[in-house]
Amino acid sequence: MLKFKTSSSSLLRSSRLLSPLSRLHSSSSSQTGSAKADTKHHVGELTDFIEKWTPDVFRNVGVGLAASSAAAAVVVGPVTGLSMAALTALYWKVGLDDMNQNASTIRRNFPFLGNLRFILESIRPEIRQYFIESDKDGAPFDRQHRTIVYQRAKEASDLLPFGTRRDVYEENYEFAAHSMWPTVATVEKSRVMIGGPDCKKPYSSSILNVSGMSYGALSENAVLALSSAAKMGNFYHNTGEGGMSRFHLEGGGDLVWNVGTGYFGCGTGTLKRVFDDKMFADNAQRDNCKMIELKLSQGAKPSHGGMLPKAKISPAIAEARGLKYPPEGDCNSPASHSAFDSPEGMMHFIAKLRELSGGKPVGFKLCLGRPEEFAALVKAMLSTGITPDFVTVDGAEGGTGAAPPEFSNSVGMPMAEGLTLVHGILIGAGLRDRVKVIAAGKVLTGFSVIRTLAMGADVCNSARAMLFALGCIQSHKCNTNTCPTGITTQDPRLMKGLHVPSKAERVKNYQEKTVHVALEITGALGYDTPEKISGKDVLRRIRNHGLRDFNEIYPWITTPSGALKNNTARKEFQAIWDGKGAHDHLMWENA
Ligand SMILES: Cc1cc2nc3c(=O)[nH]c(=O)nc-3n(C[C@H](O)[C@H](O)[C@H](O)COP(=O)(O)O)c2cc1C
Ligand code: SF4
């Protein structure tokens, strides 16, 4: 059995750095809503008694009801017997219809009783309005934002009547500063070409794509649906670190192969995983594989290897990852890569991946911890002359299938600071025109795409919004193999409920509509392409300071090209480049 050891090496920031940053954590007001503590019974959870209601239980109860009707006809009389028989027939009809329909996973998995969820859901707004919660409740995504995804996925109207329900004068309120001279931005013009000078096969990317989630964290039906959606909608689907499975390939969408420390699909070994050139080349050269993303870390568990709980390791997953079945324990990947151990070594490894892939774009994904360590990577780009084709920045607010709560809650930099620093350092090194920047971290609405581009991204990835489009009800059971919507489970009974063609259509609809709205905002800003969006286009209300645009809040994104290299950048920013750390609080106080 393959069982990787994880390192518990801590990356906790110094409190000096964390405290100003944590002030900014609430800045993504477009998404976060009220960050309430995790509660057991949150919005959208299925009650336990419905979850125990399997199709077998449904059938047994139905047989019992039929027998009781017959007994009642004999013992009580024909009228009672007939009435009970009619109710029993109705019970069977509803339940069998539920099992045979494709639109709802919950009804397929929990016939008859699953309808309770929808009945309760239909009266939920009233109950909530009079007794319980606001639209801003629900974490990590509030009801308002989830509803937008559900509506767009189902092609229902997402129009808001009567004006905004937000308090536009509250702290951290953000808005796009539109132009008096709006124009039209088209999807064609919004595509972003990824691939620097050393790349032979550049890739034309959408501005919104499916972020990495592995087969293992996700079910095969979920992977198939996402990949099929990517094909229909002409966007990419990142595989996540569990390897490029046959379900990714079967869907036919453009794939970004996320290569983590476990080297699944491109490595061998048990206790220590070793990268294998031939295995990598064979997979990377597949037509579907459009780009390769070397994963250093992700926001929900930075510098902590991937975690796949034993309960979720099915024979098919074991096969895809090269694990023994049945598993002896959880499949935990190491915290760090064995293929390189220095910034220069990493650049040479990137060059090797590009060559082995036949010249496809190769980049890396990270959640930023220490900015000076990223600066060291960029210096290695200059000293080796090897640049990645893209850098993906994940925020600490990012999602995961499973992670230690301390890592999710208290390690790593949120997207806003991580993204703006990566963008600024690449500009300061004079390399920004060679390296595209992709960002993820609660990107869900058209506006959240725009604000992410305004912070410096070229392209956005989204993981959990895509899961909502697949039918996720935010029940927080992704690590238990009991996901009621068949998305993050390997239980065939639950997975079967996820009808691939209809869910793929929904993901496609959601992505398409959200990009459409993002482009409408782009046009409202007066630009014909999102490429022209910059930090001055989005403003935030800051207590005692009025309104500030992103250029003022994150001044390092206005660094002149090459200024860090030439030692002419703003003092506090230059200190990062010079390896003196990012602890000069002046820098953060500007934010
Ligand atoms: C279920 C799940 C599994 C994930 N698995 C991976 C993974 O294998 N590799 C990776 O780089 N990121 C992984 N992520 C992180 C996402 O790719 C993304 O960076 C993060 O969730 C932020 O995006 P979001 O806020 O839109 O969810 C996973 C996220 C989720 C929700
Ligand atoms: S993916 Fe499944 S288990 Fe995870 S939050 Fe969504 S519905 Fe719940």
Residue nearest to atom 2 of ligand 2 (CA): 483
Name residues whose C-beta falls within 8 Å of residue 89's C-beta, 6 or more positions apart in sequence.
none
**Does residue 441 line the site of ligand 1, with CB under 6 A?**
yes
pLDDT exceeds cutoff 70 at 484: yes
Residue 277 CB: number of other CB atoms within 10 A? 12
pLDDT exceeds cutoff 90 at 448: yes
Q: Tell me the pLDDT tens digit for each residue of 26-72.
A: 333 333 333 333 333 344 556 777 888 999 999 999 999 999 999 99
Q: Top-level CATH class of 185-533?
A: alpha beta
Residue 260 contacts residue 305 (beta carbons within 8 Å): yes
C-alpha span between 500 and 508 (Å, rounded):
12
pLDDT band, residue 403 (cuts 50/70/90): confident
**Does residue 443 line the site of ligand 1, with CB under 6 A?**
yes
Query: What is the number of the ligand closest to the CA of 465?
Result: 1
CA of 351: how far to CAs of 125, 265, 356, 397, 538, in Å? 54, 19, 9, 31, 37
**Does residue 399 line the site of ligand 1, with CB under 6 A?**
yes
Q: pTM of the entire structure?
A: 0.86
Q: Tell me the pLDDT tens digit for each residue of 153-174.
A: 999 998 888 899 889 999 999 9
pLDDT band, residue 579 (cuts 50/70/90): confident
Query: What is the number of the ligand closest to the CA of 141?
Result: 1
Q: Tell me the pLDDT tens digit for each residue of 407-418.
A: 989 999 999 999
pLDDT at 380: 98
pLDDT at 33: 34
CA 397 to ligand 1: nearest atom = 25
Can you tell me the mean pLDDT for 358-372? 97
Query: DSSP string spanning 217-265?
Result: TB-HHHHHHHHHHHHHHT-EEE--TT---HHHHHH--EEEEEE-TT-TT
Q: Which residues of 401-424 are buried (b: 16+ CB within 10 A; e: fewer)?
A: bbbbeebbeebbbbbbbbbbbbbb
Residue 426 contacts residue 378 (beta carbons within 8 Å): yes
Mutate to test the pocket of ligand 1, among 400, 438, 490 (most ligand atoms within 8 A of CB): 400
pLDDT at 137: 74
Can you tell me the mean pLDDT for 11-34? 33
pLDDT exceeds cutoff 80 at 236: yes
Question: Of 27-31, 111-115, 330-334, 496-500, which range is least confident?
Answer: 27-31
**Does residue 394 line the site of ligand 1, with CB under 6 A?**
yes
Residue nearest to atom 5 of ligand 1 (CA): 213
pLDDT exceeds cutoff 70 at 8: no
Query: What is the number of the ligand closest to the CA of 498?
Result: 2
**Does residue 219 line the site of ligand 1, with CB under 6 A?**
no
Query: DSSP string spanning 425-473?
Result: HHHHTT-TTT-EEEEESS--SHHHHHHHHHTT-SEEEESHHHHHHHT--
pLDDT at 582: 57
Can you tell me the mean pLDDT for 240-265? 95
**Does residue 470 line the site of ligand 1, with CB under 6 A?**
no
**Does residue 462 line the site of ligand 1, with CB under 6 A?**
yes
CA 480 to ligand 2: nearest atom = 3
pLDDT exceeds cutoff 90 at 266: yes
**Does residue 475 line the site of ligand 2, with CB under 6 A?**
yes
Query: What is the number of the ligand closest to the CA of 488?
Result: 2
CA 211 to ligand 1: nearest atom = 17
pLDDT at 24: 30
CA of 449 to the centre of ligand 1 (A): 17
Mutate to test the pocket of ligand 1, among 146, 248, 298, 488 (most ligand atoms within 8 A of CB): 298
C-alpha span between 350 and 25 (Å, rounded):
32
Residue nearest to atom 7 of ligand 2 (CA): 472
Residue % of the chain over a pLDDT of 70: 88
Residue nearest to atom 8 of ligand 2 (CA): 475
**Does residue 243 line the site of ligand 1, with CB under 6 A?**
no
362-366/390-394 β-pairing: parallel
pLDDT at 130: 57
Torsion of CA 97, 101, 104, 106, to 10 degrees: 50
pLDDT at 126: 63
CA of 256 to the centre of ligand 1 (A): 13
For tokens 């007994």, the residue is: 71
pLDDT at 32: 36
**Does residue 109 line the site of ligand 2, with CB under 6 A?**
no
Can you tell me the mean pLDDT for 513-536? 98
Residue nearest to atom 5 of ligand 2 (CA): 474
Name residues whose C-beta falls within 8 Å of residue 78's C-beta, 6 or more positions apart in sequence.
none
Residue % of the chain over a pLDDT of 90: 74
Query: What is the number of the ligand closest to the CA of 481?
Result: 2
pLDDT exceeds cutoff 80 at 99: yes
**Does residue 239 line the site of ligand 1, with CB under 6 A?**
no
Mutate to test the pocket of ligand 2, among 141, 218, 466, 478 (most ligand atoms within 8 A of CB): 478
Phi, psi of 236 (to 5 degrees): -100, 160
CA of 312 to the centre of ligand 2 (A): 14
**Does residue 478 line the site of ligand 2, with CB under 6 A?**
yes
pLDDT band, residue 581 (cuts 50/70/90): low
Can you tell me the mean pLDDT for 342-346? 98
pLDDT mean across residues, the chain: 88
C-alpha span between 241 and 386 (Å, rounded):
24
**Does residue 476 line the site of ligand 2, with CB under 6 A?**
yes
